């Protein structure tokens, strides 16, 4: 998702902090973003797994979708807005409890994935009829365009990417963040609250993209920047760049849109059928339902899998996968996992070869390298359930 047009790059509100902490900045999703800090990718990765890492993800697409008639103190308002968004995603949004967040996918008419996103129902009684929606930075213009046109007149979409969105991830995250938000410690994985600090409101969600316990925090630009600066003053917290963000999510078996997910890939192929809850499966009322039901019944032609190279050579995106000399798939994400101290890879293979333990060859620089299909994630998730 990197782009090279440096003239039109945007900066997040946290840019001065990146500079202060010595970031190496690169173009990413239209923004100038830190790829690493002086510690380097490996140290940043390991620090996040043992302490707490702060990630600027303000380039992503936080937004609020509200009924055109407004929010109200009435659970029926949630059902109304959920019914609208459910025309575009296959997850049970109506069934979200107050303050519950859920990963879902935006689907095209063929059941292909246009983006992956997190939708949250507000906890607060007076905010029913609103959804907090965070989409991928590189896809936000597409996604918001789809919401605007598909739900025109029925909803108001408020883009919140002029604020600050950061993630605090790692085993020390709860201790560090609860100094500012005591109530955050009571949240469980995929729960969200609006919390106050010095008269400013923040949206605090217990989720992330590393496999670690942690939080994502949205706030207005000035207040969010001030809080991020205070958190970085804690000796447990270091700033983490996009390089370690990628190796952390890959070890955790999490997908990167545009690489592991794309418009021709269905949730069943992507091993994300779990985002389609029972009520929606029974109703079959989402885009591309015919294909998705066919794949659920007969099995998909290809499947997303984890891959462990058996030698030290990493296999990068685009590497071809062979079994017995026959091409059976391709790597969609590949690199090195500092926590498991070995190369880690994800890709798609023909369903017949998707069973963990299956021996495969990765064609790296013209040479077949032995590897095997592995269960995901590569490291166990440490979410607070």
Partner 1 sequence: MTTYYTKDHEWIRVDGDTGTVGITTYAAGQLGDVVYVELPETGAKFARGDDFAVVESVKAASDVYAPVSGSVLEVNSALTEAPEKVNEAAQGDAWFVRVKLADAGELSDLMDEAAYAAFCEGL
Match 């935006």 to its residue by tokens. 106
Of 129, 243, 288, 306, the residue at the interface with partner 1 (CB under 8 A) is 243
Minimum CB separation of residue 334 from partner 1 in Å reads 10
Buried b (16+ CB within 10 A) or exposed e, 106-142: bbeeebbbbbbbbbbbbbeeebbbbbbbbbbbbbbee
Q: With binding defined as CB under 8 A, does residue 42 bind partner 1?
A: yes
Cβ distance to partner 1 smaller for residue 79 or 317: 317
Q: How far is the CB of 86 from partner 1 (least distance, A)?
A: 38
| Residue the block writes with tokens 């029974």 | 282
Nearest to 111 by CA among 290, 322, 352: 290
Comparing CB distances to partner 1, the nearer of 42 and 382 is: 42
Q: Considering the complex, what minimum distance in angstroms separates the CB of residue 41 from partner 1?
A: 4
Residue 336 CB, shortest distance to partner 1, in Å, is: 4
Binding to partner 1 by residue 263, rule CB under 8 A?
no
Residues 322-351 that bind partner 1 (CB under 8 A): 335-336, 338, 343
Q: Can you tell me which residue has the tokens 């190496």?
A: 24
Nearest distance in Å: CB 337, partner 1: 9
Q: How would you classify the pairing of strands 214-219 and 113-120?
A: unpaired
55: exposed, middle or buried (Cβ count in 10 Å: 0-12, 13-18, 19+): buried
Quick check: 232 binds partner 1 (CB under 8 A)? no
> Side-chain half-sphere of 182: how many Cα atoms within 13 Å?
0
Nearer to partner 1 by C-beta: 146 or 363?
363
Q: Which of residues 44-83 bind partner 1 (CB under 8 A)?
A: 45
Tell whether residue 34 is a contact of partner 1 (CB under 8 A). Answer: no
Cβ proximity to partner 1, 297 vs 367, nearer residue: 367
Q: Shortest CA distance to 245 belongs to which of 89, 63, 29? A: 29
Query: Which sign does the torsion angle of CA 227, 233, 235, 241 carry?
Result: positive
Minimum CB–partner distance for residue 171 and partner 1 (Å): 21
Q: Which residues bind partner 1 (CB under 8 A)?
A: 35-36, 40-43, 45, 243-244, 246-247, 312-314, 316, 335-336, 338, 343, 365
């Amino acid at each position: 998702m990197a782009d090279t047009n440096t003239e039109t790059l945007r900066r997040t509100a946290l840019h001065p902090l990146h500079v202060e902490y010595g970031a190496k900045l690169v173009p990413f999703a239209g923004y100038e973003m830190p790829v690493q800090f002086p510690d380097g990718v490996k140290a940043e990765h390991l620090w996040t797994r043992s302490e707490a890492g702060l990630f600027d993800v303000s380039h992503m697409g936080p937004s609020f979708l509200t009924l055109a008639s407004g929010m109200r103190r009435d659970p029926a308002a949630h059902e109304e807005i959920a019914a609208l968004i459910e025309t575009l995603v296959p997850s049970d949004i109506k069934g979200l409890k107050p303050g519950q967040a859920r990963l879902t996918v935006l689907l095209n008419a063929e059941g292909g994935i246009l983006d992956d996103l997190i939708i949250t129902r507000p906890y607060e009684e007076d905010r029913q009829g609103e959804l907090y929606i965070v989409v991928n930075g590189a896809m936000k213009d597409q996604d918001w365009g789809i919401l605007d046109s598909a739900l025109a007149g029925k909803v108001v979409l408020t883009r919140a990417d002029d604020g600050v969105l950061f993630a605090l991830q790692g085993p020390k995250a709860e201790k560090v963040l609860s100094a500012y938000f005591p109530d955050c410690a009571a949240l469980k994985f995929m729960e969200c609250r609006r919390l106050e600090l010095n008269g400013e409101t923040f949206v605090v969600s217990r989720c992330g993209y590393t496999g670690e316990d942690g939080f994502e925090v949205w706030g207005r630009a000035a207040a969010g920047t001030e809080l991020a600066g205070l958190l970085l003053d804690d000796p447990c917290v270091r700033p983490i760049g996009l390089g370690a963000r990628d190796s952390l999510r890959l070890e955790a078996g999490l997908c990167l849109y545009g690489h592991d997910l794309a418009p021709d890939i269905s949730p069943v192929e992507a091993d994300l059928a779990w985002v389609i809850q029972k009520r929606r499966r029974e109703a079959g009322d989402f885009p591309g339902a015919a294909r998705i039901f066919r794949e659920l019944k007969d099995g998909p032609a290809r499947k997303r899998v984890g891959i462990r190279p058996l030698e030290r050579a990493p296999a990068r995106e685009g590497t071809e996968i062979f079994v017995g000399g026959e091409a059976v798939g391709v790597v969609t994400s590949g690199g090195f996992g500092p926590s498991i101290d070995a190369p880690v890879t994800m890709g798609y293979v023909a369903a017949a070869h998707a069973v963990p333990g299956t021996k495969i060859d990765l064609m790296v620089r013209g040479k077949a390298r032995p590897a095997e299909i592995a269960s995901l994630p590569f490291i166990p998730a440490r979410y607070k359930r």
